[in-house]
Structure 1
Amino acid sequence: MLIMPPTVSVIIPAHNSAKTLGACLEAVRRQRQPVTEVIVVDDASTDDTRAIARRFGCRLLVTGRNAGPAAARNRGIRASTGELLFFLDSDCAPEPDALENALAILRDEPDVACVHGIYALEPLIDDGPVEAYRLLHGHYWRLRNVGRVRTTLFAVCLIRREVFTSVGLFDENLRASEDVELGDRMGDRYGIVLTDTVVCRHDDDSRLGALLRKQFHRSQLLIPVALAERGPAGIRANSPVALVAATLVPATLPLAPLVGGWPAASLLLLALFVVAEPGLLRFVLHRRGPAYAVFFFAVHLLVQLAVVTGAVVGGLRHLADRDFGPTRVTTAKTPR
């Protein structure tokens, strides 16, 4: 009996993605596994994103206002026809075997409904040491969590359409952590695999100020989403011990005058922060050497402080306004 290969729709949400969208679409074109259609959802871009999508002959959907990645992905889902949906961020270029390898996992493990992959260490576009920090850290924590997981990450992800029919679409109330929230809704009904056989090159933040602002804003949804989680916690990119140590480093600086002006407590906490994840320390030293490791952990400290600050602000916002967070929490409020 002839078994037809599954139909695959590629869905790419894009907002001001002119820098990377061409490389992303070229990588889709080079996939060994054929795709049925490529849908680019332009989320109200003001650059040449739409022109690039048209040049590649994609199906182009355009939103009237910038509504965020959840809304853009949902529009792509509704417009798509494939049995399987291959999601890519517009700043990611999957390796030629990425889709083929993801499909093999779905074929070999029938209970698995979602396969997502990792970032390569090599950037899509090399923009300097801050981007190298992001890729090193992003590669490390994904690699550390390879296997069966409870979290979905949609930078490069293949998922069965039936999942959305069963658990619903992305929560458009969320502009960050929307993929994490979806994975929690999948719960124990659908297997989720994070694999190092599905790899994409990623163009990440290259300016420190922009990176810290993004981390601050995105982390504001960490607490609201965590409070809505029904099952065990999923993948965590950062060590709780490192987060606490990072928070206490500046908090203990006022103690310096009490010990002759020497910030002993802060230095001890800084040392704890660096060794809190020995695997990460070894990984950075092995990949880039001691000199870069000093830079890496200096940036990492600032990022962790931005994450903690954002999480605290987001938690307070959620307390003051229950509409700030996942819809399944806000719609469950007691009527006034």
Structure 2
Amino acid sequence: MSTALTDPAPVDAVIIPHYNDPPRLERCLRALMENDIANTEIVVVDNASPVSLDRVRRAFPDVRFITETKKGAAHARNRGVAETTAQRLFFIDADCVPASDWLTIGREIANLADLIGGRVDVFDETPPPRSGAEAFEAVFAFNFRRYIEVQGFSGAGNLLTRRDVFDAIGGFINGVSEDQEWTMRAVSCGYSLIYEDRLRVSHPSRRDWPALKAKWRRTTQEAYQLNGGGLAARLRWVLRGLAMPASAVVHTPKVMSSDKLASTGEVVRAISTLFRLRCQRMVWMLRQAAGGTI
């Protein structure tokens, strides 16, 4: 059972950026209420959604709702931190569902590193069988262990850090892959980043090709901003783009051997989506390197 928010000086703050998705936000908050929220301030920072949050506000009177008119999750997260005084900061996205022990585990492991990214499982919001997009996401989406231990960054959909770290390196930057840039900036400043499998949240899979395509278009745009626009950087981007179809071949065995897919049909749809997406990304990346838009 949850504990009422009564401490005037919270130890922990949960920062949730939100835009125009009240049902998923409500699902996130209900899951948070299954946690031990003693001495915890939960802050929803809404990016001036066109839909009303009045019903959600009434359902969760102990949650603080703040409006940030500057668009983007980076601005929302920064505003959330500025509105709190807690020294321990939990970041989660509004469409994520935290495990019932998410906060408890976070408190237990908080001293292990300066930044801790956790596990993000994928679940479907539609009944089976899975679409190609859902099957692809079941295999490939949100590999936070690889992000952290191989690539050196974490997403902010499941991230724990401290206020002194945030104050030292500054806030998230809008217009780039803000969580990747922020965590990499922290690591470059000497702060430690680790993966913790017990720190668990879940995220819905993209339902169809348009949703998956939109996700990867945004991701490709943000990644190019981090890549740089100089000649050498653009040449590297061309090579990465040209390698995309080959990477689909390399990753096909991962799909075929995955225990997350329930049928041969799901395997076939996942492989088809894998090749379709990697070829699409190649086209986007070559356009970017040539100075175009995607």
Indicate the TM-score class for this superposition, using the shorter chain for normalisation.
0.7 to 0.9
Distance 1:152 1:246, change over 3 A: closer
How far the C-alpha of 1:201 sits from its partner, in A, is 1.6
Is 2:21 aligned against 1:20? no
Name the count of aligned residue pairs: 271
How far the C-alpha of 1:193 sits from its partner, in A, is 1.4
Q: Deviations over 1:31-65 (max 9, x none)?
A: 13635211101112122445314421211111335
Higher Cα Rg, which structure: 1
Is 2:233 aligned against 1:281? no
Letter in 2 for 1:203: P
How far the C-alpha of 1:122 sits from its partner, in A, is 3.0
1:293 to 267, 270, 278: 267
Aligned pairs (5 A) from 1:230-269:
244=242, 246-247=244-245
Letter in 2 for 1:199: R
**1:325 aligns to what?**
none
**1:163 aligns to what?**
165
How far the C-alpha of 1:285 sits from its partner, in A, is 5.3
User: Structure 1 CA distance, aligned partners of 2:289 and 2:66?
Assistant: 35
User: Structure 2 CA distance, aligned partners of 1:314 and 1:82?
Assistant: 41
User: Structure 2 CA distance, aligned partners of 1:314 and 1:9?
Assistant: 39
RMSD: 2.9
Q: Deviations over 1:166-211 (max 9, x none)?
A: 1110112x1x510111112112411111222112121232121232
Q: Deviations over 1:217-248 (max 9, x none)?
A: 321121321349xxxxxxxxxxx98x64544x
1:311 to 266, 285, 289: 285
Aligned pairs (5 A) from 1:75-94:
75-94=79-98
**8 A contact 2:17–2:73 mirrored in 1:** yes
**2:65 aligns to what?**
60
Letter in 2 for 1:151: F
Alignment gaps of 5+ in structure 2: 1-8, 230-238
**2:206 aligns to what?**
205
**1:323 aligns to what?**
none
Distance 1:45 1:286, change over 3 A: closer
**2:102 aligns to what?**
98
**8 A contact 2:46–2:67 mirrored in 1:** yes
How far the C-alpha of 1:10 sits from its partner, in A, is 0.7
Q: Deviations over 1:261-280 (max 9, x none)?
A: xxxxxxxx6xx733x13662
Letter in 1 for 2:66: L
Q: Which moved more, 1:53-62 or 1:79-88?
A: 53-62
Distance 1:308 1:294, change over 3 A: same
How far the C-alpha of 1:79 sits from its partner, in A, is 0.4
**8 A contact 1:221–1:311 mirrored in 2:** no
Alignment gaps of 5+ in structure 1: 229-239, 248-268, 321-336
User: Structure 2 CA distance, aligned partners of 1:309 and 1:162?
Assistant: 42
Aligned pairs (5 A) from 1:46-195:
46-57=50-61, 58-64=63-69, 67-107=71-111, 109=112, 112-123=113-124, 125-126=125-126, 128-129=130-131, 130-139=133-142, 141-144=143-146, 147=149, 150-172=152-174, 174=175, 176-188=176-188, 189-195=190-196
Percent identity (aligned): 24
Q: Which moved more, 1:141-150 or 1:20-29?
A: 141-150
User: Structure 1 CA distance, aligned partners of 2:289 and 2:173?
Assistant: 19
Q: Give the alignment's TM-score, normalised by structure 2.
A: 0.80
Secondary structure of 1:179's match?
Answer: helix
**8 A contact 2:116–2:193 mirrored in 1:** yes
